Amino acid sequence: MKFINFFSFLFVLFILTQANAQEFKLGKVSIAELEQKTHPKDSSAVAAILYKKGTATIEYNDQDGFFLMTKVDTRIKIYKKEGYDWANQSVVYYIGSNDSREKVDFSDVNTFNLVNGKVEKTKLKSDGVFNEEVNKYRARKKITMPNVKEGSVLEFSYTIRTSNIGMMREWAFQTSIPVNYSEFVTQIPEYYIFNVRQKGYVFPKVTPEKNNKSILINSKERYSTGGFGGGATRTEYSQDKIDYIEAKTTYIAEDLPAMKEESFVNNIDNYTSSLEQELSMVKFPNSPIKTFSTDWNSVAKTIYEYDDFGPELNKTGYFEDDLKALLAGITKPEEKIVVILNHVKSNVKWDKYYGYSCDKGVRKAYQEKSGNIAEINLMLTAMLRYAGLTANPVLVSTRSNGVALFPNRTAYNYVIAAVETEKGYILLDASDKFSMPNVLPFRTLNWLGRLIRKDGTSEEIDLMPKKTSNDIVFLTYNIDSDGKVTGQTRRQCSDYNAMITRENIFGIKEDEYLEKLENQNNKIEISDYARTNEKEIMMPIVETYSFTGNNLCEVIGGKIYFSPMLFFTNEKNPFNQETREYPVDFGFPFLDKYNITIKIPDGFTVETLPVPAVMNMEDNLGSFKFNIAVSENTLQMVISHQINEAIVSTHQYEMLKEYYKAMIAKESEKIVLKKI
């Protein structure tokens, strides 16, 4: 697959801004802001951020030393009822270890409305602020703004305090509604050096400054005024002043358009204009310089050396006896891989926690039959190594976490296993009951991962599937003179299509599943339903059923009109935008193929028949084939739609859009039957 370089489609559009930040004070809402009925540049906007300012400052006190304080002030305008969700605000924060625990506080939370020409303010009451636990590591502090109406202006402020200076909160200049003004300021002592990375299509204006600062360090010492074993104790207090240079940087962007959702986008945050900052170096006076991750190799090496990562791969005693019994007599690497993968999948259940760090460790996870992603897949890697295979962990950023664009330790939130073979890498994830070798959970299909070896070296791993996932349908049906259709369907799905099918049917009663299937397919009635290979996940899954339908044909003036693919017809083009901002992410290459046999009713003949067609996109991106043949009162059709790339770049979008438009038009063409 031709991989898309993210930076090839980042067009640097500098926004013209004022040299100085706008004057803004919470509580100073104007009548003009309240009277505004629609956004001046986007009449469809349900709400808009009028002003948002964040300040991240590294501060000092005697008790805690240096800590990071982030303050955010926001003003939002509500235009329509659909924008009421913006009255619900929340901040997720870390509650894990005490030394890194974060503290979040909301303040100045008010709703402003225009009542009889005057500005009316409604304050948030204490019962409008509450906490909820997200998981054992994180909590969420939430507010619900009071008295919200169409036309309201909302204001709130919050602070986040943390002793973990390693990673500043990402600052998003854009969001799903227009942003009139966004400002982010960092104030960093000279002792800390951060890597600054910007992503998206619109970059802010940057203004750096250097300021003289100082901190006062208070200390006390106790002295004994007597001899050994006696005498009084005297306490002396002292204060030292330390001068340093503070780097202040201001980022300002104005008139940012709303981020529009598009079909087949993996994570829109990948393309949102935003700022990331990660600590790269600490250099205190009279102390050695401490460096952190500066490139992907150093990121990988750093993570591998963590106590809850690399050392866990060296633990084998807890599984050796079990594995010896399982692998007895097995010599082929491919068979070993499947046996070990299935062993971990069936014995250790995923506890739904992501991460590349072990929590309780692989040994305990194996004993308790439950673990997080790291414990499951590092355990899998260790077992594969023990079986004599060349296996290594691969760091991954899930689709929900965004593409790992810049080298930093928080870019990844997941780990899988890779086995090196003569034919290439085999990627494995034992956390999903339906995963197979080189068929990973969909959440992991996110461009590139990074494989780490024992010696600390690493390399990029293409996570996007290359093998085509098939969806093959055999459809045979009869049409009677009244337009009623009776037929049989056999549907066979492989690889990712099989995984999706198994996920759709898992845990659902058959009656419930069939009712949903009937409703989705023009209210057909299904009978004789059966499945094959539902649990044999290395095999394609097959569904067969008989059906009848009274809404699949139209009878007009004695003629019968119908689309030959019936309820399998694609009716809507998912690509209808004039231009495409983001790559099209199908997730995996696929082939949809339909073998159709149609028996027309006695006394009828074909009046109108679609003509065969073939469409091929450039660069072997995909193809559509439509073939039809008539033999007496039987029609034979073979229709295929194939996409050969998991990701389609924006410069190929126009071609893809026209391809889908022509394909859907062809599939929608009617066969017309008339009486003889």
Average pLDDT, the chain: 92
Going from the C-alpha of 479 to that of each of 347, 489, 554, 561, the distances in angstroms are 51, 15, 11, 11
Other C-beta atoms within 10 Å of 447: how many? 24
Domains along the chain with CATH numbers: 6-22+29-290 (2.60.40.3140), 297-462 (3.10.620.30), 469-675 (2.60.120.1130)
Secondary element (H or E) of residue 520: helix 510-520
Other C-beta atoms within 10 Å of 293: how many? 23
Band (7; pLDDT cuts 50, 70, 90):
very low
Q: What is the pLDDT of residue 261?
A: 84
| Centroid of chain to Cα 564 | 37
The crossing angle, in degrees rounded to 10, of helices 373-386 and 333-347 is 150
pTM above 0.75, yes or no: yes
d(CA 18, CA 417): 50
- DSSP conformation class of 42: B
Give the mean pLDDT of 289-297: 82
Other C-beta atoms within 10 Å of 289: how many? 9
> Is the C-alpha dihedral spanning 279, 284, 290, 294 positive or negative?
positive
Beta-carbon contacts of residue 23 (< 8 Å; ≥ 6 apart): none
Scan for tokens 């901040």, then name that residue: 91
Q: Which of 514, 511, 493, 489 is nearest to 502 (CA)?
A: 493
Specify whether the CB–CB gap between 340 and 430 falls below 8 A: no
Band (231; pLDDT cuts 50, 70, 90):
low
Specify whether the CB–CB gap between 163 and 64 falls below 8 A: yes
DSSP string, 156-182: EEEEEEES--SBPPPEES--SS-EEEE
d(CA 521, CA 436): 30
Specify whether the CB–CB gap between 203 and 12 falls below 8 A: yes
pLDDT beyond 80 at 90:
yes
Going from the C-alpha of 424 to that of each of 135, 418, 459, 462, the distances in angstroms are 38, 10, 13, 11
Q: What is the pLDDT of residue 192?
A: 96
Hey, what amino acid is at 587? G
pLDDT digits (tens, 9 = 90+) for 607-619: 999 999 999 999 9
Secondary element (H or E) of residue 362: helix 362-368
Rg (CA), the chain: 31
pLDDT digits (tens, 9 = 90+) for 625-671: 999 999 989 999 999 999 999 999 999 999 999 999 999 999 999 99
pLDDT digits (tens, 9 = 90+) for 480-531: 999 999 999 999 999 999 999 999 999 999 999 999 999 999 999 999 999 9
Q: What is the pLDDT of residue 223?
A: 65
d(CA 465, CA 459): 18
d(CA 121, CA 383): 63
